[in-house]
Amino acid sequence: MSEELNDIKHRLREFAKERDWDQFHSPKNFSMALIVECAELVEHFQWLSDEQSKRLPDETLEEVSLEMADIMIYLIRLADKLDVDLIESVHKKMKLNAIKYPVDKSKGLATKYSKL
């Protein structure tokens, strides 16, 4: 795990400990909280065109960035609870995706790997 991500993990762990929130921080609760935060992120893009979604007003972009931070915080806490190295998992998933989506079959397509 990267040094910075590890530092954030420990700071989040301490933040929860100081507030006696660990009693609420189960993998089940974090996975549910992630869905809620993702929905709050999606809400900012609902009804926008693709072009509008690429050019958010500064105030909206700030709100979106904070929702993204909430998602990352919950994901880091979930990984901590399950003892998952997120960086290692990302590298592993990228390798699997490269196998599932070879360039010669998937370039320029939004087709699921099982349909390539």
Q: Look up the CATH number of the domain holding residue 43.
A: 1.10.287.1080
Q: Are residues 74 and 103 in the same domain?
A: no
pLDDT for res 113: 87
Q: Are residues 44 and 97 in the same domain?
A: no
For 52-98, give the DSSP string: HHHS--HHHHHHHHHHHHHHHHHHHHHHHHHT--HHHHHHHHHHHHH
Q: How many domains does the chain have?
A: 2
Which domain covers residue 94, as residue numbers? 86-116
Question: What mean pLDDT comes out for the span 20-46?
Answer: 97
Alpha carbon distance 99, 97 (integer Å): 5
Q: Are residues 79 and 39 in the same domain?
A: yes
Q: Are residues 44 and 26 in the same domain?
A: yes
Q: Are residues 71 and 22 in the same domain?
A: yes
Alpha carbon distance 42, 85 (integer Å): 26
53-107: pLDDT as tens digits: 999 999 999 999 999 999 999 999 999 999 999 999 999 999 999 999 999 999 9
pLDDT for res 32: 97
Q: Are residues 51 and 73 in the same domain?
A: yes
